Amino acid sequence: MRRTILFLFVLLGGCGRYEDFTLPPVDGQDAEITPRWQVRPEPVLGRGAAGEWDSVDVLNPSVIRWQNQLLNLYSGFDGRLWHTGMARSADGIGWEKQGKRLSPEPAGWEAGYIAANGAALVFKDEIYYWYQAGNPPRIGLARSRDGARFQKHPEPVIDLGPRGSWDERAAADPYVIQSGEELYMFYLGEDRARRQRLGVARSRDGIRWWKLLANPVLELGQPGAFDENGLGEPAVFTAHGRYWMIYTGRDQREARRLGLASSPDGVRWQRAPEETVLTGPHAWNSKVMCDPTVEAGEGHFRVWFGGGDIAHPAENIHGQIGLATLTLEKK
């Protein structure tokens, strides 16, 4: 008991903001649901030519609607550095690349090899883009009024947790949703045992965040499961009176697949049955399915994702971006 009280004192007083909360209730009928996936056979956004900034991998899509079109803030790898670029589309299938938007800074907290792997949201008439950077990784924020020029916040907005916490070694893979006046960020945390799990924080302005005291909200899968070796890249949306999460799971061989979970409050999550796990059905995404981003449609959800044919937890996987449709059918 004494050790627990001491830990809570350090947690609450010494490193960041923490509180207990749940997400607001979701309207709709909480029915029994059967998820069904359909994956387009070919990528919708491929790698650049040799020597270009996105020539090795194209992953981590984040798709938003902006000025009557779709924007995709995606991650590109050139074999040395990860950058964030932008593509535009009218239909979500044919994309026109617009070039780089963010690159890692050579010094300061970002110094490293990545300024990417982020989440975009239209908030207060601006594009807010939370992204991963630095070594160890933390989460930063860049903002844009026109989609062309982004201004970075000078410091991380989600920092590492205190010693002994679930996100002591990394805070990464942000995904942000808005409910009323509140923003909720689901993200990956890594502890000193290198366990990668998922947690949540909330904010009113996108800069100052309060982490859930009870994090993580989703633990590793059981031995032998598709997600026993690590979780990442959550994408959260609402349907049928619940919150839903599509997330990346890594197995012991570093194959990555997309799992599904649901929650009544955004904090207590229950995995969908194993048969709902999405494994890459085509040669180009046979080893990796990751990085989902979701757009709601009429009775279905479009999910852009990263795919690859080499099992690896990070890069050099021949990464390309694909498109799937998720239908949640009432039983």
Calculate the alpha carbon distances from 288 to 18, 281, 318 in Å: 34, 10, 10
What is the average pLDDT across 289-318? 94
pLDDT at position 93 is 98
Percentage above 90 pLDDT, the chain? 89
What is the average pLDDT across 155-175? 98
Which residue, among 102, 103, 93, has the nearest Cα to 63 in the 3D structure? 93
C-alpha–C-alpha distance, residues 191 and 297, integer Å:
37
DSSP string of 53-70, one letter each residue: TTSSEEE---EEEETTEE
34 or 5: which leads in pLDDT:
34
Strand (E) or helix (H) holding 8: helix 2-14
Topology of domain 27-330, CATH: Tachylectin-2; Chain A (2.115.10)
pLDDT at position 1 is 43
- Indicate the pairing of strand 69-77 with strand 151-152: unpaired
Q: How confident is the model at residue 16 (pLDDT cuts 50, 70, 90)?
A: low
What is the average pLDDT across 17-32? 90
Report pLDDT digits (tens) over 235-261.
Answer: 999 999 999 999 999 999 999 999 999
What is the average pLDDT across 10-14? 44
What is the average pLDDT across 303-309? 98
Average pLDDT, rounded, for the chain: 94
53 or 299: which leads in pLDDT:
53
Listed in sequence order, the residues at least 6 apart from 312 whose beta carbon sits closer than 8 Å to its beta carbon are: 254, 288
Three-class DSSP category at 276:
helix
Strand (E) or helix (H) holding 315: none
pLDDT at position 8 is 47
Has residue 130 got a pLDDT over 80? yes
Q: Which tokens sit at 19? A: 């509180």
Omega before 216 within 30 of 0, i.e. cis: yes
Q: How confident is the model at residue 331 (pLDDT cuts 50, 70, 90)?
A: confident
C-alpha–C-alpha distance, residues 141 and 235, integer Å:
18
What predicted TM-score, i.e. pTM, was given to this entire model?
0.94
